[in-house]
Chain A
Amino acid sequence: MGRFFLYALLLLATLLFLLPVYLVILTALKEPAKITLDTVWHWPDPVYWESFKIAWDAFRPKFQNSVVLALSATALSALVGALNGYVLAKWPFRGSNLLFALMLFGMFIPYQSILIPLFQFVKAIGLYGTLWGLILVHVVYGIPIVTLIFKNYYSEIPDELVEAARIDGASFFGIFRHVILPLSAPAFVVVAIWQFTQIWNEFLFAVTLTRPESQPITVALAQLAGGEAVKWNLPMAGAILAALPTLLVYIFLGRYFLRGLLAGSVKG
């Protein structure tokens, strides 16, 4: 009896979680003319693949922006995080813990509280409306979380390893290059997944700091879906495009995704 209820509950929840996905795919595969509200749940007949082609053509520049943005900002912030974490975990100095705590605070501020000065600043240095401005912003506001993840990870590496390398005459960067980096792969994976997902999905900075030509896909999608005249097959196909990269990351690297999730939110 208990088992029956258990599976009933789980199946119901599965339905709840998957129905929206089903509806999205359904709508994206329908002919625009056949999308009416009372046939929302009906299977498309015939299946109409054209929407994806149209959506792809419309969204491709924004998709490319998102790819460039997410990949380069992720790579840069992983590098910064590794170096910071290395310093804080293996070369602590007086007051470094306090500085680390002050750094972490940046993770918690609502970005609305710095948005106006940030907007002015990005404008003043001539990066408003460019992808570079957005990359810079994501790297900077990513510093707290990536530093936290790397510091925690490097704290687990025994100090003796670093000490031994130092006695052998290795320098600061020598130790990083030959001792720390070879051990860092898991931390890099966690940080890369976390940052990639965050940056790909980010919206507030993107909508404030870009122009149409530098918009990432989240902004383009929100603006398209907000318009009244558009048929729903397009936003739905666009939503699938916008969701696909992070979903693939989640499906293929789910274990690390979860680890990043827990590291990023529970510890902080």
Chain B
Amino acid sequence: MRDRITAFLVLLPSLAAVGIFVYGFIGQNLWVSLTDWGKNPAQALALRPELRFVGLENYRELFTGFVDVRFRQSVVNLIFFTFFFMGGSLGLGLLLAMALDRGPKGEGFFRTVFLFPMALSFVVTGTIWRWLLQPQGGVNVLPTLFGLPPFHFPWLTTRQQTWVFDWNQLPFYTALAVGLTLLYVAWKAHREGERKRLFWSLLSSGVLLVWAFTLGRTTHLLPYPEPHGFSLALVGVILAAVWQMSGYTMALYLAGLRGIPVEVLEAAKVDGASEWQTYRHVVLPLLAPITLSAMIVLGHIALKIFDLIFAMAGLDYAPTDVPAIYMYLLAFRGNQFAKGAAIGILLLLLVALVVIPYLVSQLRKEVRR
């Protein structure tokens, strides 16, 4: 009995620390995000600032306020960055893993080379790639090695954008995207014969899509059009991030490929499947759980990406802005703590949206085992 008490006492400091530093601070941050801390510059840095409760005002301003246009661009940047960073890392990682799985000579050497960027910090990666992407040098002069004219792409400094859309249409696009995703879920439920899931996903998808094409089209967040798009200065950042993280996905996929029993592949061969068909119908479905895990980890990194952009483009360059950068800029440079806290809460919500369902499904799996 005494030992049980000792055991609990040993765990207690960690529990208290996590309780305060994680849950307590999240609570406090939520409270700060609902106040006006930082609105009045005289109060901003006071030892005991007077905070007034303003409700969701900070959130409203971020999404529809006149001054926070930069936040909106940072959200758009984050979406594009996450998409291309994930796609690039997963694609390149899978390609490299499939190549290494065929047992080339010097496999250990290749593996070491592909994985070493993982040991670097994003600051080091950023510093290196900042130099590589200088407008008149680095990557741009590579074609001259083959006697071709150099590129003239200002990787990190361009202000060009593509796929520009009006921020006012964000509700429409969001409803459309979620509605279509739910439609896909419904289709899967139909194939698996899950009636209840089919009903609910079909219903909510229908509601969303109807809303999108009726009221959603005319919902306006701002009284004026505000264009945002994929900022091309991000291409350089995405390159650097994929360079750093694709070794990681390669390691995951390689472990997955090696874990596929030989009998399964033999069986496919006996059934007359070509190599391509084997990959398409046997190997890739077996790798799906790995893809999901990797997407969680990569998505997580993408949402928090800060050091890489800090090192590559600095804090003050709007075209490569992401919410994590803007949060730091607002809170620790501009002393606008309440608004910074609001961005922190938004990031937390995004992470929770992805991570909690994943954790719950993992736990269920463990229980079933």
- Interface residues of chain A, those whose CB is within 8 Å of chain B, are 6-7, 9-10, 13-14, 16-18, 20, 23-24, 27, 36-38, 40-41, 80, 83-84, 86-88, 91, 93, 96, 99, 101-106, 108-119, 121, 140-141, 143-144, 147, 166, 171-173, 197, 200-204, 207-208, 218-219, 221-222, 225-226, 232, 235-236, 238-239, 242-243, 246-247, 249-251, 254, 257-258, 261-262, 265-266
The answer to whether A116 and B340 touch across the interface, beta carbons within 8 angstroms, is yes
Q: Are A201 and B121 in contact (CB under 8 A)?
A: yes
Q: Is the interface of A mostly helix, strand, loop or mixed?
A: helix
CB pair B327 A112 closer than 8 Å? yes
Q: Which of B4, B116, B327, B363 contacts A101 (CB 8 A)?
A: B363
A-B contact count (CB 8 A): 253
Shortest Cβ distance from A143 into B: residue: B14
Extra 20 A-B pairs, beta carbons < 8 Å, given A84-B14, A108-B355, A117-B29: A6-B99, A14-B113, A17-B113, A37-B137, A38-B137, A84-B11, A87-B11, A103-B15, A108-B300, A108-B351, A141-B21, A172-B3, A201-B121, A203-B310, A221-B127, A222-B307, A242-B121, A246-B121, A258-B115, A261-B251
Is A87 a contact partner of B7 (Cβ separation < 8 A)? Answer: yes
Q: Are B28 and A20 in contact (CB under 8 A)?
A: no
**Which of the residues B29, B118, B132 comes within 8 Å of A20, measured between beta carbons?**
B132
Minimum CB–CB distance from B24 to chain A (whole Å) comes to 8
A sample of 13 cross-chain residue pairs with beta-carbon separation below 8 angstroms, ordered by A number, consists of A10-B110, A37-B138, A91-B7, A101-B359, A101-B363, A117-B32, A201-B124, A207-B310, A218-B123, A226-B311, A246-B120, A246-B121, A257-B119
Q: Taking the nearest CB of chain B, how far is it from the CB of A111, in angstroms? A: 7
On chain A, the residues within 8 Å of B10 by CB distance are 83-84, 86-87, 172
A140–B7 CB distance below 8 A: no
Select which of A41, A116, A203 is within 8 A of B337 by beta carbon.
A116
Q: In the bound complex, do residue A247 and residue B137 qualify as a contact, i.e. CB atoms below 8 Å apart?
A: no
Bound-complex Cα distance A193 to B314 (A):
30
Q: Is B293 an interface residue (CB 8 A)?
A: yes
